[in-house]
C-alpha cells in the first residue's frame, strides 16, 4: 500500500553526512518516543494487508521472547495513554484509538498486537549467548529489509551487507547497545530514494520490478509518471526495557515526492552533493549509482 502522507517531511539531505556509516544519534525525550499523527489509518491498513499476504515475512517471534514482548506492550500502553491521551484511552479490557474507533484487546500481549496500536514498525533485540539478537519483530514497511533472513541473528550479522560496518561500526554499535540506559532513549534518521511511495518496499518480492529510466525526466523533477521518485526517510529510535533489558528498535517511515520537495529550497542541490560524496560501495548498497549524475544536474 502507498503512503500518501498528510504530514510534513522531518528530514532533508545533509551533504556533510557523506557516508551511510554516520550514526547521527541524538537524545530523545521519552515523551516524544512514538509519533501519533493523521497518517495512522494508512499504516494500520498496510500492516493488516501485508501480514495477510506475506505472513512471516513481516512478523516473527522466537520462543523465549514473550517476557520482553509483554514488557514492551506495557511500556507502549503507558506511553500512548499518558502522552497521547487525546487519541488513546483504556476502555474496559481494551485500548481504544478514539479518532479511528478501533479497539484492541489487552489480553493479547504479542508484539504483533502491540504493533497494530502504532504507526511504527517494532523490533526487539535481546542478549543471547553474549550478543544482541533479533528475537521478535513486526516489520510491515521494510526498506529492502528481509525479516525472515534476519530473525534470530546478531547485530553484526544483520548489518553484514552494509559496506564497512564490520570495520568501522561494529564495536561502537555493540558498545552502544550494552550501555544504553532505560531513561535515555535515542533517535536517528536514515534515508533512501525509491520510485514509488509503497510502504512495503521489498524489491525481491516485486513480481514485476519497475525499471527506472533515470536519463529522462530530471528536468521535470521526476514528479509524475514512470520516472517519479520519492524521498523515503526512517525515523529510528532505540530504547531499553528496564526489566528484561531488551532493546526496542522502532522505525517510522515518511515518504514525500521529489516534485513536492523540489519546492523546498536546496533539496535538489543538497541531494546531489550528498549522493556525489558517497563512496561507490555505499552508492551501490543504496541503489544510487544511476542517480549520481542526474542528481547534480540542477546544481
The helix (H) or strand (E) run that includes residue 276 is helix 267-277
Residue 218 lies in a domain: yes
User: Nearest-CA neighbor of 44 among 139, 136, 112, 117?
Assistant: 117
Is 5 within a domain?
A: no
What would the pLDDT profile of 9-36 be if each residue is shown by its tens digit? Answer: 999 998 888 777 678 899 999 999 999 9
State how many domains the chain has.
Answer: 1
Let me know if residue 15 belongs to a domain.
no
CA pseudo-torsion sign 166, 168, 174, 177: negative
**Which residues contact residue 135 at a Cβ distance below 8 angstroms, ignoring those fewer than 6 apart?**
61, 62, 64, 65, 68, 124, 125, 126, 128, 151, 152, 246
Which residues on neighbouring strands pair with residue 189, listed in sequence order? 235
Choose between 288 and 293: higher pLDDT. 288
Q: Is residue 93 part of a domain?
A: yes
199 within some domain = yes
How much is the average pLDDT of 232-261? 96
- List pLDDT tens digits, range 123-162: 999 999 999 999 999 999 999 899 999 999 999 999 988 8
What is the reported pLDDT for 220?
Answer: 40
User: If you average pLDDT over residues 47-67, what whole number do you get?
Assistant: 97
Neighbour count for residue 165 (Cβ, 10 Å) = 18
**23 vs 291: CA distance, rounded Å:** 23
pLDDT at 219 over 60: no
Residue 245 domain boundaries? 26-295
Query: Is 1 within a domain?
Result: no
What does the pLDDT look like over 160-190, one tens digit per residue? 888 788 787 889 999 999 999 999 999 999 9
Residue 21 in domain: no
Q: What is the pTM for the complete model shown?
A: 0.90
Residue 16 lies in a domain: no
Query: Quick check: 229 pLDDT over 60?
Result: yes
Amino acid at each position: 500500500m502507498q503512503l500518501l502522507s498528510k504530514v510534513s517531511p522531518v528530514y532533508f539531505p545533509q551533504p556533510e553526512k557523506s557516508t551511510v556509516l554516520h550514526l547521527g544519534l541524538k537524545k530523545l525525550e521519552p515523551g516524544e518516543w512514538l509519533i501519533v499523527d493523521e497518517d495512522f489509518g494508512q499504516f494500520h491498513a498496510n500492516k493488516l494487508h501485508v501480514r495477510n499476504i506475506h505472513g512471516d515475512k513481516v512478523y516473527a517471534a522466537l520462543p523465549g521472547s514473550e517476557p520482553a514482548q509483554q514488557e514492551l506492550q506495557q511500556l507502549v500502553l503507558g506511553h500512548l495513554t499518558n502522552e497521547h491521551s487525546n487519541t488513546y484511552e483504556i476502555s474496559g479490557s481494551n485500548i481504544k484509538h478514539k479518532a479511528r474507533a478501533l479497539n484492541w484487546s489487552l489480553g493479547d500481549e504479542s508484539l504483533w498486537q502491540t504493533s497494530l496500536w502504532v504507526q511504527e514498525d517494532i523490533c526487539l533485540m535481546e542478549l543471547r549467548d553474549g550478543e544482541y539478537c533479533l528475537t521478535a519483530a513486526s516489520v510491515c514497511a521494510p526498506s529492502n529489509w528481509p525479516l525472515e533472513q534476519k530473525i534470530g541473528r546478531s547485530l553484526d550479522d544483520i548489518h553484514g551487507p552494509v559496506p564497512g560496518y564490520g570495520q568501522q561500526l561494529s564495536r561502537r554499535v555493540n558498545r552502544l547497545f550494552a550501555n544504553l540506559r532505560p531513561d535515555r532513549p535515542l533517535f536517528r534518521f536514515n534515508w533512501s530514494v525509491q520510485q514509488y511511495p509503497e510502504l512495503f518496499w521489498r524489491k525481491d518480492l516485486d513480481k514485476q520490478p519497475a525499471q527506472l529510466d533515470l536519463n529522462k525526466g530530471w528536468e521535470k523533477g521526476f514528479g509524475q509518471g514512470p520516472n517519479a521518485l520519492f524521498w523515503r526517510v526512517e525515523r529510528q529510535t532505540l530504547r531499553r526495557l528496564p526489566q528484561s533489558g531488551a532493546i526496542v528498535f522502532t522505525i517510522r517511515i515518511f515518504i514525500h515526492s521529489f516534485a513536492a520537495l523540489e519546492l523546498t529550497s536546496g533539496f535538489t542541490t543538497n541531494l546531489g552533493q550528498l549522493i556525489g560524496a558517497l563512496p561507490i560501495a555505499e552508492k551501490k548498497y543504496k541503489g544510487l549509482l544511476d542517480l549520481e549524475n542526474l542528481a547534480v544536474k540542477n546544481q
